[in-house]
Structures are given as structure tokens and as C-alpha cells.
Amino acid sequence: MKVGFVGLGIMGQGMATQLIKAGHEVWVWNRSPRAMEPLVAQGAHAAADLGSLLAGVEVVHSMLANDQAVRQVWLNDTALAGLRGKIHVNHATISIELVRELATAHAAQQAGYVAAPVFGRPDVAAAGRLNILVAGAPEAVALVRPLLEVMSAKVWPFGDVPERASITKIAGNLMLASAIGSMAEASTLTRAYGVSAADFLDVMTRTLFAAPAYQGYGKMIAEDHYQPAGFAMSLGYKDVGLGLAAASAEKVPMPIAGVLRDALLEALAAGDGELDWAALAKVAAARAHLQDRRKS
């Protein structure tokens, strides 16, 4: 199949690579052209611009950072005209408001819109082992499902309303943030009593919380190692904000999410926006003034 991929950050690179390995004719475009070079070396075709990419493909995937980037790339006359009769698979984690806007704009152009956000960090994308949530018109989902399967360990269907896949991703990221925040605060408490984060989290992630999210992020906290970021603090702040906005729209109180947003904002204010969001442990330690205690 002739497939396009737009947005070649660290996640998009791994995902597009899987499509190339599966034998598809892959066309790529990125606002920063240098990001196309590694994929061209693997056999992808570089498009001069988005319009020329859309002219030559049946399906286009995109993995962009946030609402602003998605809006700039897709909600303009040139892009929407180029999508006519094609299917757009959007992997970005974006607001429910924007999902609805995109679905409406695509329908006006007789284009298919499929929401397909993913769970998995860059190494998981590079291995083709993502968990992909998918929702959209049944015929569109059926056509793109084989493409999703080559990038994933499992494809999880959520019906024909795109926002349902998107809200599931947002809610999942709220749970991840809660897991990280609880480990950050609990390990800070043990450290204040002389028990290292490594010793505490080793027990917790082998017993009560023996799950991949706790084990992966717990290891980062135990090692105090937050670079390179698999998921940056700034993106975590964005996603928790998306959850709070969605909750407000449906009058769903989410006090824990509000606390997490403030902790993430505190990290951004400290200049730690590019660290992995496991660095919420730094916020907890700073609030407890652990460094000051050691000096006294």
C-alpha cells in the first residue's frame, strides 16, 4: 500500500520504520526536513511538501506533538483538500474538542478520520510493540488495521466515534501520572527516614505493584535518571491538562489530576520540562527539602 507518514519525531521514526519493514511504499514529510533522512536511508520517499505527499498515497498517518501542531498541519484548505477521498490516521494525543473538529472537517471533504493514539515509549515504537487504540468509521478502520498491526503488539478497538479512543488514551496517561506521582512522594518519604528510593521501589515493584508502568518508572526514580526523556515533562503537563479539560466539559471532578498538573507545572517552572516525567520525583524531593536536610 502507498502510505504517508507525517511527524517524524522519536515516536514517528519508529512507527514509520515498521511500515517500511512491512514492505509498504512509504512517503514521509516533516516540518524539519532533516528528520526524513534516516527513513529515506531505509527506503522511504521524501515528499517536498504535504500536498505532494497526499497526492500520492491512500492512507496518511501522523504523529504530531500537540493541538497546536495538529491544527497548523491539518486544519487548512490545502491539507483538507489533499485529504479528499483518503484516510487520515491520527496518532497524536490531542484534546477532545480538536478530535471533534477534525472529524467534522474530514467528513466535509469525504475523507476518513481514524483516531489511533498509542501506549508505549520510543523503544517500544522502534520494536513495533505499541498498544494502539483505534476508533472511527468501520470501513476506514478495517482498511487501516493491517497497517496498525505491523506497528503494534495489539490493536484495541473502541467503536466508530473517534473521541472514544482519544479519551481512553488521555485517561490512561492520567493513571500513569498518578503512578509516577505516588512513587515520587512515597520514595521521598522513605528517603527522609534513611531508606533509599532504590531499596523501597525494589520491594514495591516486585510485590504490591509488580506491573510494567511501576517497574519502568520506578527504575528511573531509583536511579535518578531522567534523560533522554521517553516522555517529557512538558508532554505530561499537556496530557494532564487535556484530561482536566475533558473532565470539565462533562462535569467530572478530578482532584487528583489537579494536584498532578500543579506538580508538573512546578517542574516546568524549575526548568525541567525536557526531563522524563518520572522526574516528578525531583519535585517531591525539593518540596521536602531533602538536600537541605543533608547539609544541616
Helix (H) or strand (E) holding 29: strand 25-29
Of 90, 132, 147, 139, the C-alpha closest to 110 is 139
Distance of CA 281 to the CA centre of its chain: 21
Edge-first strand listing for the sheet containing 2-6? 45-46, 25-29, 2-6, 59-62, 87-90, 112-115
- Is 295 catalytic? The answer is no
- Which alpha helices (H) appear in 91-224, and where do they start and end? 96-108, 122-126, 138-150, 162-192, 197-206, 212-223
Q: Of 190, 247, 251, 197, whose CA–CA distance to 261 is shortest?
A: 247
Letter string b/e over residues 212-229, b meaning 16 or more CB atoms within 10 A of that residue's CB: ebbebbbebbbeeebeeb
Question: Whole-angstrom Cα distance, residue 9 to residue 21?
Answer: 18
* 3-class SS of residue 61: strand
For residue 246, what are the CA distances in angstroms to 89, 91, 124? 22, 18, 28
- Catalytic entry in 2, 86, 169, 251: 169
Query: Residues with catalytic annotation?
Result: 169
